[in-house]
Amino acid sequence: MKRRVGKLIGLFVVTLFALAVMYVSGGRNDFGAQQKEANPSDSVVETLAPVTVMPLEKRHIEILDSYAGTIEPLESFSLAFQLAGQVESLGTNEEGRPFDIGDPVKKGHVLATLDTRILIARREEANANLENAQTEFQRLVSLRERSPGAVTQTAYQQATQMQAVAKAMKDIAEKNLENAQLIAPADGVISARMINPGETINLHQPVFELVQVDKVLLTVGVPESRIVAMQQQFNATRRAAKANIQSGTPDATSNFKVHVRRFDTSSNLEKDNVLAGTVYRIAETVNDRNGLFEVEVLLNNTSRLLKPGIVGKADFVIREIEGFQVPVESVVFNDRVASLFFAQPAIDHPTSTVDFVGMDVAEVPNFVAHRIEIPSYIEQGRNFILSELPGQHNLLIVQGQHRLVEGRPLEIMSGTAKSGPSGTSPSSEIPPMAEVSRLSVQPTGK
């Protein structure tokens, strides 16, 4: 019996001890909670957000519209003789060799000549016939003057007609002799030669093809949704076209600027070489094959690096504005609303003291995050173009902005050794890409 009572007493003591431990533990937890509730500001001990900023300034920006197209010659000519005959010789280039594919020619150069022996004989025959007709006509005129009734009106008219016919035949013979030479109609480059000396050709048979490549055209297809804006810019910059007297090629028809780059993966030098061009012509009707409006860009090609048939990319300068260019990675989207975060000086604690080994080293400015919405923008490549920004904002946050809220404290990690003089913009103290992260600082309240 005594043993049973002892066990009960022991169990009671253990239970009391457990309850005491639970009470003490619960009291400590409540105390910790009370302490935590009593000092809410300590939990927000303003954790500094590591971000990266970039100085943002208004500058001149070109609004571009990009398309790909094919290089084509400004003009191409299919040349043929105006009469049949045998090819006697070909013209020669600057090295004295017969003209061939790739040789440049000037307007008026003789490309080829036919055998002219028969043509010369016909011209001589025509000259003789004309001389006989003129002699007969002069004889009748003299006879009519001496004796008006000696020459009938019919004989006089026939002599007049014979003289006119003989003169016409002489002109034809001279023209045929002239057509025995094939003349280059404009400056260009021979793209094809289909004859050799000694060959016989037919009337109007193509023998040479000539292309103008000192100036070339990049032809692109523009959809209906974009052609109106392009036509408006073309009309605003249009000017009268004038033919170049030396080459016969027209000058630019507008000041509509286009930046052209050739697609080439084999040469970085050529790929990065941007050529300046202008819009030359905009089609009035849609192309039946692809449903696009053809737009031609005129390019100078004196070095002949742009070969007809290669593909190029054209950036049309639709507008030119003064605005801001921000990286697309810096934009925060929330519920379809685009926003930017900027680092602006803190109002409550403008500066902090940097403490190093117990010593105050320097005063640095404090920054906080400020969010602004951008209701309208132009997306261009990897950038957003903004015409205006509300207020004065210089330091754009380009990394770390997705975890920020309005007023979150920031701190400059590099780029500002000490605060600048009054009136100095914060961006003037920060290099182009400055890291903003955590430092051991103490707010001074200044």
Q: Which residue has the higher pLDDT, 270 or 169?
A: 169
- What confidence tier does 379 reach under pLDDT thresholds 50, 70, 90? confident
Q: Mean pLDDT of all residues in the chain?
A: 80
Q: Are residues 233 and 186 in the same domain?
A: no
> Same domain, yes or no, for 329 and 353?
yes
The pTM for the full model equals 0.63
Cα(164)–Cα(123) distance, rounded to whole angstroms? 16
Q: Which of 249 and 68 is assigned the larger pLDDT? A: 68
Secondary structure (3-state) at 411: strand
Non-local CB neighbours of 206 within 8 Å, separated by 6+ positions: 78, 79, 80, 194
- Side-chain-side CA neighbours of 245 within 13 Å: the count stands at 0
Strands (DSSP E) along 247-303, which ranges? 257-262, 274-282, 293-300
Same domain, 258 and 300: yes
AA letter at 361? V
Q: What percent of the chain has pLDDT over 90?
A: 39
Q: In terms of domains, do 437 and 413 share one?
A: yes
CATH number for position 148: 1.10.287
- Condensed to tens digits (0 to 9), the pLDDT of residues 31-77 reads 444 444 444 444 444 688 888 888 988 999 999 999 999 999 988 99
Strands 383-386 and 311-327 come out as: antiparallel
Residues 335, 429: one domain? yes
The verdict on 194 and 278 lying in the same domain is: no
pLDDT at 432 over 90: no
Minimum mean pLDDT range among 156-170, 219-233, 425-439: 425-439
Q: Which domain holds residue 388?
A: 45-59+323-443
Which of 54, 66, 61 shows the shortest CA–CA distance to 386? Answer: 61
As a whole number of angstroms, the distance between CA 276 and CA 259 comes to: 5
In the chain, how many domains are there?
Answer: 4
- Measuring CA to CA, how many Å separate 159 from each of 46, 128, 138, 169, 222? 118, 15, 9, 15, 67
Q: Is the confidence at residue 249, as pLDDT, over 90?
A: no
% residues pLDDT > 70 (the chain): 75
Q: Are residues 217 and 70 in the same domain?
A: yes
Averaged pLDDT, 156-176: 93
According to the model, what pLDDT value does residue 41 have?
Answer: 41
pLDDT tens digits for range 298-335: 998 888 888 888 999 999 999 889 999 999 999 998 88
Is residue 277 located within the same domain as residue 336? no
Q: Does residue 23 belong to any structural domain of this protein? A: no
Instruction: Give domain status of residue 402, yes or no.
Output: yes
Q: What is the CATH number of the domain that holds 245?
A: 2.40.30.170
Among candidate residues 222, 217, 232, 221, the one with its CA nearest the CA of residue 318: 232
At residue 417 the predicted structure's pLDDT band, cuts being 50, 70 and 90, is very low
Question: Is residue 36 included in any domain, yes or no?
Answer: no
Q: Are residues 316 and 331 in the same domain?
A: no
Instruction: Provide the pLDDT for residue 251.
Output: 60
pLDDT at 29 over 60: no
Short-list 110, 320, 80, CA closest to 204: 80
Q: Map residue 253 onto helix, strand or coil.
A: coil
Inform me whether the pLDDT recorded for 270 exceeds 70: no
pLDDT at res. 52: 87
Q: Is 364's pLDDT higher than 50?
A: yes
Residue 6 resides in a domain = no
Is 1 within a domain?
no
pLDDT of residue 27 exceeding 70, the answer is no
- Burial label, 81 (beta-carbon count in 10 A; 0-12, 13-18, 19+): buried
pLDDT in tens, 393-415: 888 988 888 888 888 888 656 53
400: left (phi over 0), alpha (psi -120 to 50) or beta: left
Range in 158-167, 194-203, 209-218, 238-247 with the lowest mean pLDDT = 238-247
Based on the domain organization, do 68 and 52 belong to the same domain? no
SS3 state at 434: strand
- Compute the distance between CA of residue 200 and CA of residue 211 in angstroms, rounded to an integer: 25
pLDDT tier, 348 (very low <50, low <70, confident <90, very high otherwise): confident
Q: What angle do CA 215, 235, 275 make, to 5 degrees?
A: 30
The pLDDT of residue 419 is 32
Q: Minimum mean pLDDT among 218-222, 349-353, 382-386: which range?
A: 349-353
Specify whether 127 is located in the same domain as 195.
Answer: no
Domain end position, chosen among 287, 321, 355:
321
**Mean pLDDT within 354-383:** 79
Structure tokens belonging to residue 237:
């910059």
Identify whether 31 is part of a domain.
Answer: no
Token look-up 């016989």 returns: 200
- What the block records as the tokens of 348 is 């409550």
Asked whether residue 26 is assigned to any structural domain, the reply reads no
The answer as to whether 28 is a domain residue is: no
What are the tens digits of pLDDT across the range 281-305?
999 999 999 999 999 999 988 888 8
Residue 86: which pLDDT band, with cuts at 50, 70 and 90? very high
The pLDDT value given to residue 5: 59
Q: State the sign of the Cα–Cα–Cα–Cα dihedral 119, 125, 129, 135.
A: positive
pLDDT at 111 over 80: yes
Same domain for 290 and 332, yes or no, is no
Return the SS3 of 296.
Answer: strand
Helix (H, G, I), strand (E, B) or coil at 214: coil
Strand partners, 70: 219, 311
Find the radius of gyration of the CA atoms of the chain. Answer: 45
Token pair for residue 317? Answer: 């300068």
Question: Which of 259, 286, 321 is where one domain is finished?
Answer: 321
- pLDDT at residue number 316: 93
Q: Which of 146-155, 237-246, 377-386, 392-401 is least confident?
A: 237-246
Could you tell me which of 147, 22, 104, 85 has the C-alpha nearest to residue 301?
104
Q: Please report the pLDDT score of residue 439 as a whole number.
A: 33
Kind and range of the H or E run holding 132: helix 117-146
* pLDDT per residue as tens digits for the range 73-84: 988 999 999 999
pLDDT band at 440 (very low <50, low <70, confident <90, very high): very low
pLDDT at position 60 is: 93
Among residues 295, 321, 347, which one ends one of the domains?
321
